[in-house]
Amino acid sequence: MRYDDSPPPPESGSSANPDRHWFTRRSTLVVGVAALAPACLAGWVLTQALSGAGPGETLPGPAPQPASHSALSPGQRDAKPGSTPSGSPSTEASTPAAAPAPVPAKGPLTGKTVVVDPGHNTGNFKHTDEIDQQVDIGTNRKECDTTGTTTNSGYMEAEFTMDVSKRLRTALEAQGAKVVLTHEAGDRAWGPCITERARIGNEANADAVVSVHADGVSAGNRGFHIILPAKVKSGAADTAKIVGPSRELGERIAGNFARTTGSAPANYLGGGTGLVVRDDLGGLNLSTRPKVFIECGNMRDAKDAAQLTSPEWRQKAAQGIADGIVGFLGG
């Protein structure tokens, strides 16, 4: 056996040069290897280009085999292509939870219902035929509604009553009350009729009802007054059960209204008490719930009108009425 690289000895009987045979075989091997190298390099470059691998990257190995059907969870087995299996976190942002409904305010009027009736409607001036329809108020028949009055500058009573009524609603809701308005600004072209206004309070089973107004008498007559129901029993009118509680409601509102607004009781009726009893108002005659009207001032008197047209004063008026209702219902 030979362990060196020396050329093999010449075969016996051969006249060839042994060094030449060895050189020839070695040269042939070198040439073959040299020819094969470019082909291998070209194949590698082609493979890398087709695989998308960049410099320094390695070709991916065989793709992992999917787990067997039995190894998947029920949600994974049933999931449709592209869907998120049940029990797995979604890659999409979850939908935000709906904001909880606002919690009603708690206060002395919690569980109580108050109906606020904004007197008249700004559209009544354009619907005089409709509001002139006669309705039965028990003691007699009278107009469905009226236009209400205005200040000398044209500020409408219906604008005033709606503004104060909305402020009053806010104040009462802050005390925990459920508040129902007989109508909202712009929700109807005219009215409602006085019979419907009474019915809304009755059907709401209201603990108290207040109808907001402003008077329209001659200049020099100033101040507020509260109108209370008289005791009547005729046709659909029967006020026997509400006369007492309505007076208490009126007295509470009168005291708080005077204190909060700085307004004095009317100087032209009520004997300085600010309280007047009437039997000719359908809104009172047809009510089965404690109810009063408040005339907050005289729109035809310049000094009263200056108050009635002031947003700051209207806020005080609403608060004074609200405090009277709280005193009546909350003790």
Tens-digit pLDDT profile for residues 158-199: 999 999 999 999 999 999 999 999 999 989 999 999 999 999
pLDDT in tens, 212-253: 999 999 999 999 999 999 999 999 999 999 999 999 999 999
What token pair was written down for 164?
């104060």
- Closest listed residue to residue 209, CA positions, set 286, 317, 124, 110: 286
pLDDT-based confidence at residue 270 (cuts at 50, 70, 90): very high
φ and ψ at residue 169, rounded to 5 degrees: -60, -45
- pLDDT at 106 (0 to 100): 86
H helix or E strand, kind and range, residue 166: helix 157-174
Catalytic residues: 295
Taking 60 as the threshold, does the pLDDT of residue 7 lie above it? no
- pLDDT at 330 (0 to 100): 86
pLDDT-based confidence at residue 105 (cuts at 50, 70, 90): confident
Average pLDDT value for the chain: 80
**Is 113-330 in CATH node 3.40.630.40?**
yes
H helix or E strand, kind and range, residue 234: strand 233-234
- pLDDT at 98 (0 to 100): 61
Single-letter residue type at 62: P
User: Which whole number is the average pLDDT over 258-279?
Assistant: 98
- Closest listed residue to residue 287, CA positions, set 224, 180, 207, 213: 207
- pLDDT at 46 (0 to 100): 43
pLDDT in tens, 57-70: 443 444 444 444 33
- 3-state SS of the chain? CCCCCCCCCCCCCCCCCHHHHHHHHHHHHHHHHHHHHHHHHHHHHHHHHHHCCCCCCCCCCCCCCCCCHHHCCHHHHHCCCCCCCCCCCCCCCCCCCCCCCCCCCCCCCCCCEEEEEECCCHHHHHCHHHHCCEEECCCCEEECCCCCCECCCCCEHHHHHHHHHHHHHHHHHHCCCEEEECCCCCCCCCCCCHHHHHHHHHHCCCCEEEEEEEECCCCCCCCEEEEEECCCEECCEECCCCHHHHHHHHHHHHHHHHHHHCCCECCCCHHHCCEEEECCCHHHHCCCCCEEEEEEEECCCHHHHHHHCCHHHHHHHHHHHHHHHHHHHHC
CA dist., res. 118 & res. 29, Å (int): 113
Residue 280 near residue 140, CB atoms below 8 Å: yes
- pLDDT at 166 (0 to 100): 98
φ and ψ at residue 228, rounded to 5 degrees: -105, 150
pLDDT-based confidence at residue 20 (cuts at 50, 70, 90): very low
Calculate helix-pair angle for 311-330, 243-261, nearest 10 degrees: 140
CA dist., res. 19 & res. 171, Å (int): 120
Q: Which of 43-47, 85-89, 261-265, 279-283 has the lowest mean pLDDT?
A: 85-89
